[in-house]
Amino acid sequence: MKAFDLLGPLPAPQSTTVLEASAGTGKTFALAGLVTRMVAEGVAALDQMLLITFSRSASQELRERVRAQIVSALAAIDDPERAANELERHICATDRPARRLRLHDALAGFDAATIATTHQFCHIVLKSLGVAGDSDSGVTLVESLDELVVEIVDDLYLAHFGMQRDDPVLGYRAALKLAREVVNHPATQLRPVDPEPDSYAAVCLAFARDVLAELEIRKRRSGILGYDDLLTRLAAALDRPDSAARVRMPQRWPIVMVDEFQDTDPVQWQVIERAFTGRSTLVLIGDPKQAIYAFRGGDIDTYLRAADTAGDKQTLGTNWRSDAALVDRLQVVLGGAQLGGPGIVVHPVHAHHQGHRLAGAPRNDPFRLRVVTRGNSHTRTMQIDRLRTHIGKDLAADIGALLASAATFDGAAVQARHIAVIVETHKDARACFDALSEAGIPAVYTGDTDVFGSEAAADWLCLLEAFDQPHRPGLVRAAAATAFFGDTAETLAAGGDTLTDRVAETLRAWAGHARERGVAAVLEAAQLAGMGSRVLSRQGGERLMTDLAHMTQLLQDTAHNEGFGLPALRDWLRTQSSGGGGTAERNRRLDSDSAAVQIMTVWVSKGLQYPIVYLPFAFNRYTPDPDPVLYHEDSVRCLYLGGAAPAVVAAGKAEAAANDSRLTYVAMTRAQSQVVAWWAPSYYEPNGGLSRLLRGRAPGTAEVPDVCVPAKISDADALARLRAWADAGGPVLEESEIAPFTPAPVTAPATDLSVRHFHRTIDTTWRRTSYSGLLRAAEDSRTAGVSSEPEVAELDDEIPDIALTSPPAGADTPSPMADLPTGATFGSLVHAVLETADPLAANLAAELQAQVAIHATRWPVPATAGEIATALVPLHDTPLGPLAPGRTLRQIGLSDRLCELDFEFPLAGEEHTLADVGALVGRHLPADEPLACYAERLSTGTLGRQSLRGYLSGSIDVVLRVPAGGQTKYVVVDYKTNWLGTADAPLTAADYTRQRMVEAMLHSDYPLQALLYSVVLHRYLRWRLPGYAPETHLGGVIYLFVRGMCGPATPVTDGHPCGVFSWAPPPALVTELSALLGDA
């Protein structure tokens, strides 16, 4: 295979190129370099390129690397002496002005670059295609469907097996596992095709198909999509050769690069192939030797088929990660090895770093293999639990001796953070973590990522169960043994009933805190009782405290969002802990790990590098017969359900063995200077990836067996096979004996520390506030600054019942809303309906009723959807008064409305108060203006003293675009559901005359709200509207007191309909107020 030259000819237009990388050969650098060259040389602009990778973190890293390379290339063009590599020297060698301009433009528009995961890319395309892409803008994209799958299994299991109470054909746990497997592998075909009727396979197949069918129904019903749905929808949109997607996508992206292509699945490749092969320049970059994500849907066969059809295949041949001394040793073992067939071969690479950067270590060999022997001639295997204990201690001793030595890496002292311990299972990782902790070596395990499987989750579950039944001594004593109380078996036995009663009393008090203030109050109470200092004093305490805080936040959020009480929260936690999910919030947060040995799984380690890597259990792999079986049948990916035949099981295990060989390759190639591995005669040693590489084959043999033969082997025979590799230049063999070591001296803590004093003053006038917040602060003179607005769940700017002094006047047309509820919940419901309902709907009453039904789930009121909708129709036919002459809400469609205009802007940095606003109002409003008297209200008392420093936030109900006087004007509208009636008299339009509305406006400080909203609209239009002029475009403010709007029959006095309060603040007042608030 030809070596790739980043400075050589670029890929031909509309060609497909496969770049096969190896570990450490810099494929991300090559990809970023290709992008930079193509942009600089004018092949394509950056926004014409599509860069796809397979995880969010990888796409973020790729985005940063591409941007950094463009920045560096620009610097080299400006000053060729600053060129950092051959690529940059090549770019600045010729045509520098034009290349500088192209790179500068790319950098200026970098945010428009499409660098995304496969699913993000599909989402972008489907949204752009609209109906042509079978895309519904109303659906929600969810990260995991696991909760929905569990719900479906619960329902279907009863339907299928509810009558088989004693001995169901398919157990519940097996049914749940089966459902998760078929949902997580959507690109597979289910097998067997035609099972025997009523057989176990037929039962499993029928259940799986029902789960998939029900999943589609419930996704549509719930309006959600999973990530795999994006792929299948886009693949369907690309099915026809003349489809809109096939035409648009190559036009949009004439150059496409796919990173980590070895992890693709059949549907992902189908999308890429249909959209871009032969139409765009396609570059596929991947390493089949690192294809380790079959359990997530990655399909190495898809990569191999795509590589076979590529017009050009090249390889990256320089290892930029590892020392030549290590590369040479690893090449002896790995070179030429087939890691899943003849298409996946370890090719030779050249090391950039010559020599060996590790120096001064007690054992400095680049590749060490520590062998555990039995000391006799027997072939009896050793128990893995004994080996975990022995190897864990040997590992700790070896690392301890290394850290206590004068070892250096690349001239710097070796530290714990330079060391990685890579394993395949969580049990192995915990054994290593415990051994290192016991030896006093700082370590952090970053692989067991599900917080619901942590000690913190178990402790919270014990606590919640005890909250529910504090009278049961067993539950109380279990809670006492958690981190919240810290009792041990000894203290529980010594304390007896007295201790149990004391803990039970505390549990009752904590349960009360949880009911009143949420479970976060329980953690606070436990902290006050000394939990923090107690937990942090033990080994691994930081990890536990991090998990406890994480679990508390998850429980608090769930209780708030779902409305759960303590029993429901307990059941939810029990369900979450019993079955894994895929959502990001389940991932454990890292504790302090900057100076610790890193323990991780192989999957987590992919893409990382460390100077020294330990592989304590790569020799051992537990391989039970899989059920269901994932395998390939004539190049088709299949999932066999319900007890596969031996040949199918063998095929599945063979593919799993090949995957494990690639796992071993990934683990061994993370090291920069040294690999330390172990071999031991465990029962499952014949299946281990390292064992099959070393014991299962002889030097010079390409094929890696699926299992070592014979299964059991004596120490002498094992050593003979391992020595053959050592003699060939592979690993150096060492006897695994636990040697004592002297820990590195610990730096004594400083004794002259003191508490730092805070001498600066805090600006107590600064806050994040809103119109409502300003009023609340004025009403409570104790309120200090440096505050933030609380999260408001419902309307807080309406007073349901206002006592007015002006008598009702005019026609007493009955209010359509006279019999409807009052209060903030009803007001919130009306606002939500008016925001989303389409006033131009052919059947407005039906549209309103549908919207009421939707929003009433969040804002329930004691009235039917039909009653509310009927009452809302008349307000749509009420004239809107002089600011929107001849118009009603029914005549102004959604295209002329800007609903819920959210805003947040900084307030003035100077010492302004609302009294300054009052002075402006007094200067601009004439004495006969109905709201002129409000200037005095703003200028005096606690309201006038309110500071205008910090941030102002809020949301305008709606801005209407209306024609008026031959101009287009923009009017602020606010809906009010205030009850302005008198005593027990029926509510009529006469209660909402202009005089009574003026009184209501002044009573509730609505003029201040109207002025602030006018400033927001002024700033928005100035930003968005070409040729904006306040005198021309500001249309004033309309307050719609909806209970007084009675339709076409609404009484009108002097041009002002009842229920419609119109006010047009002078444009000069609005612009000067904007400047006062800190115009920028």
Q: In which element (H, E) is residue 931 found?
A: none
Q: Per the annotation, does 974 bind a ligand?
A: yes
Rounded to whole angstroms, the Cα distance separating 689 from 699 reads 16
Residues 420/613, Cβ–Cβ less than 8 Å: yes
Q: Smallest Cα–Cα separation from 639: which of 662, 660, 617, 655?
A: 655
Query: What's the full length of the chain, in residues?
Result: 1080
Q: Which residues does 516 contact at the CB level (< 8 Å), separation at least 6?
A: none
Q: Which residues does 910 contact at the CB level (< 8 Å), separation at least 6?
A: 1078
Give, in order, the Cα–Cα distances in Å from 309 to each of 18, 188, 633, 661, 884.
Answer: 10, 22, 20, 26, 66
Q: Which two tokens stand for residue 113?
A: 């670059």
Cα 59 → chain centroid: 13
- Residue written as token pair 């080994």: 539
Rounded to whole angstroms, the Cα distance separating 492 from 483 reads 14
Q: What DSSP string describes 129-195? A: HGGGGT--TT-EE-S--HHHHHHHHHHHHHHHHTT--SS-SS-HHHHHHHHHHHHH-TTSEEE-SSP
Rounded to whole angstroms, the Cα distance separating 708 from 698 reads 12
Rounded to whole angstroms, the Cα distance separating 381 from 365 reads 29
Query: At 983, which amino acid appears?
Result: A
Rounded to whole angstroms, the Cα distance separating 882 from 880 reads 7
Query: At 197, which amino acid appears?
Result: P
Rounded to whole angstroms, the Cα distance separating 171 from 190 reads 20
Q: Per the annotation, does 22 bind a ligand?
A: yes
Q: Per the annotation, does 957 bind a ligand?
A: yes
What's phi and psi for 733, nearest 5 deg?
-85, 140
Rounded to whole angstroms, the Cα distance separating 262 from 301 reads 9
Give, in order, the Cα–Cα distances in Å from 756 to each of 471, 752, 759, 865.
Answer: 48, 12, 9, 62
Q: Per the annotation, does 289 bind a ligand?
A: no
Q: Per the annotation, does 25 bind a ligand?
A: yes
What's phi and psi for 359, nearest 5 deg?
-140, 145
Q: In which element (H, E) is residue 554 found?
A: helix 541-562
Q: Which of 323, 459, 974, 991 is catalytic?
A: 974
Q: Which residues does 25 contact at the CB level (< 8 Å), separation at least 6?
A: 316, 317, 318, 319, 320, 349
What's phi and psi for 20, nearest 5 deg?
-90, 120
Cα 450 → chain centroid: 14
Rounded to whole angstroms, the Cα distance separating 211 from 641 reads 14
Q: Per the annotation, does 24 bind a ligand?
A: yes
Give the number of other CB atoms < 10 A from CB of residue 187.
20
Q: What is the 3-state secondary structure (H, E, C) of 689-705?
A: HHHHHHCCCCCCCCECC
Rounded to whole angstroms, the Cα distance separating 577 from 579 reads 6
Q: Which residues does 402 contact at the CB level (< 8 Å), separation at least 6?
A: 361, 362, 414, 419, 612
Q: Per the annotation, does 412 bind a ligand?
A: no
**Residue 306, SS3?**
helix
Cis check: omega of the bond before 710, within 30 degrees of 0: yes
Considering only CA atoms, give the Rg of the chain: 36
Q: Is 974 a catalytic site residue?
A: yes
Query: Binding site, residues?
Result: 21-28, 831, 957, 974
Can you say which residues are annotated as belonging to the binding site for ATP? Answer: 21-28
Write out the binding residues for Mg(2+): 831, 957, 974
Active site residues: 974
